[in-house]
Amino acid sequence: MSKVAKLSGGLNAYAGFYTPSGIAARNQATPFGLSGSLTLTLPGGISLPFSGVLGNQGSSFRQPFNQFGVSPAYKWATVHAGYRNVSFSPFTLAGHSFLGAGIELNPGMLRFGAVYGRFNKAVSSTLADPDIIPSFKRTGYAVKLGYGKANNYIDLVMLRANDDTSSIIKPAQSAEQSVTPAENLVIGITSRLLLVKHFLVELDAAASSYTRDIFATEVEAEGKNPLSRVFGKMITPRLSSQLTQATQAAVGYQDKWGSLKVQYKRIDPNFQTMGAYYFQSDIESYTVATSLNLLRGKARISASYGRQFDNLANNKNAGTGRSIGSLMASFNPDPVFGFDVALSNYGLSQKAGLRPLIDTLRIAQNNFSATVNSRYSIFNADLSHIFTLTASHQQLSDLNKTTAQQTENDNQNVNLGYFLQQNRSGFGLNLMLSYTQSGLPLPAGSTESPKVKFYGPTLGTNYTFFKKKLSTSANFSYLINQQYGQTGKVLTASTNAGYQLAKRQSLSLMLNYLNSNTGQQSEKFNEFRGNIGYGISF
């Protein structure tokens, strides 16, 4: 570890031109500017990066001191200080940034962690800026206690956080800006257990008591649920309090021949924890995934299928069900040849909830996609040739006959590629031919679905000169599109060059030309732009 401070960075200057024809300018005619970055590395591995941009397109300056933190580690101990984000489990403390301190200790089989800090700072609306959405200062702590190693453990986690009711000078009065102070207590368990050889059990579960308004009327914790009794002693239940749970579990088996895994997830409606930014709640899902290794690893098949539901509390007008299936197969008998096939199917359907479903509004769709990739290579001492072919099909089918004509569509795409590399000289060439066809929804009064087509070549090349001091590349593409009886063309051409003046100095040049013609006279335009730059690093 270095005992002296080090300074590193770079400076770049650029100037260019921009000339449009047929459209209003989308850039400045003569852009120029100066950009730079500076990193100060202090003893102990602490890095302080700075960066800035100055030019006629705008200026900016960024430095890290708005949120600065360190987490020095020594053997089995880690200390957190400043702005940090730490994860103890997915449903408790899960990466939320805080300003404070913490410690993680892992001596032997013991797993201990604790953090304390400010999770949100106070923000008040003012007369100068009344549209600010206010928020209370929020502080909290989390504790983790467990046993095991990094890949075989069980941890118990608790998080407690609350808002400071005196941290906002004057809460907003409008409905859009009104906020109420909240508090939260979460208790969870997380584990990854290798029970016997090849068998793995994963579990993440948590119960959260979330009070949205700590000024609401107090109530007594009732019921035989042990969680209600526990939370009733650790937090004050109120009319605005809600007790919710989240669970995800999996059982898997893995061996040389492949693997099998069964997963389950359930997150109650409105489940929240102040230790995470966002949760997709009100879902229940089941998933089965498997994989097979065949022909001594030259072939592999993997598949998965899952079902997902919402409206777990039966309080929505309609419930939504999703089915997700996938199948992937790869065959690579030789390093020069191989292909992959991928199939996926995504279904979406609704069922009646509090209200009966109207047929014209019912959602019932199926999205199917298939992709095939193949490659063939020819290698020798001087040249490498690689041929690729990719084809895909995607189709959205609407199972509701009353809406099918307005939503159904399909898409087909084919790409044929050739790549050449001269190993000794560094010369490279690539050619791509692409074709895409899309079938759009049936317009009103029409009996035939419109087709939109895009096709054309893309050509690129690169070469180095003067003992690799000068690197050059050029690209050209010509795309034709046909839609609604109109034929359009888009031509793009670009070239780039970079020259190494010295060990830490370089020059760069870029030229780009765009010609767009949609088939309508009013939408024809050209753009020509270029840029030259100088860079130095230290």
In angstroms, the Cα distances linking 175 to 122, 130, 133 are 19, 13, 11
Sign of the four-CA dihedral 92, 95, 101, 102: positive
Sign of the four-CA dihedral 220, 223, 228, 229: positive
Residues 6+ apart with CB under 8 A from 223: none
For residue 210, the model assigns a pLDDT of 94
Based on the number of CB atoms within 10 Å of its own CB, is 218 exposed (0-12), middle (13-18) or buried (19 or more)?
exposed
pLDDT per position as a tens digit, 197-238: 889 999 999 999 999 999 999 887 665 566 666 666 778 888
For residue 68, the model assigns a pLDDT of 75
Residue with tokens 């705008």: 58
pLDDT per position as a tens digit, 49-100: 788 888 887 766 666 556 678 788 888 999 999 889 999 999 999 999 999 9
Domain boundaries, the chain: 68-277
In angstroms, the Cα distances linking 308 to 64, 76, 266, 320 are 42, 41, 10, 8
Q: Tell me how far apart the alpha carbons of residues 232 and 220 are, in angstroms, rounded to a whole number.
A: 7
For residue 72, the model assigns a pLDDT of 83
Take residue 247 and report the two structure tokens written for it: 């669970």
Residues 6+ apart with CB under 8 A from 485: none
Secondary structure (DSSP) of 181-229: --EEEEEEEEEEEE-STTEEEEEEEEEEEEES-TTSPB----SS-HHHH
Take residue 177 and report the two structure tokens written for it: 């800006």
- Give the number of other CB atoms < 10 A from CB of residue 484: 10
Q: What is the three-state SS of 130-170?
A: CCCCCECEEEEEEEEEEEEECCEEEEEEEEEEEEECCCCCC
Q: Tell me how far apart the alpha carbons of residues 287 and 306 are, in angstroms, rounded to a whole number.
A: 4
Q: Could you tell me if 293 and 326 are in contact, meaning their C-beta atoms sit under 8 angstroms apart?
A: no
For residue 48, the model assigns a pLDDT of 73
pLDDT per position as a tens digit, 269-327: 999 999 999 888 999 999 999 999 999 889 999 999 999 999 998 888 888 999 999 99
For residue 484, the model assigns a pLDDT of 76
Mean per-residue pLDDT pooled into runs of 10, the chain (538 residues): 76 94 89 88 71 79 67 89 92 94 96 96 73 87 95 95 86 63 95 89 95 89 63 80 94 93 96 92 96 92 96 88 95 92 93 76 87 94 93 90 79 96 89 92 64 94 90 96 86 96 93 89 87 94
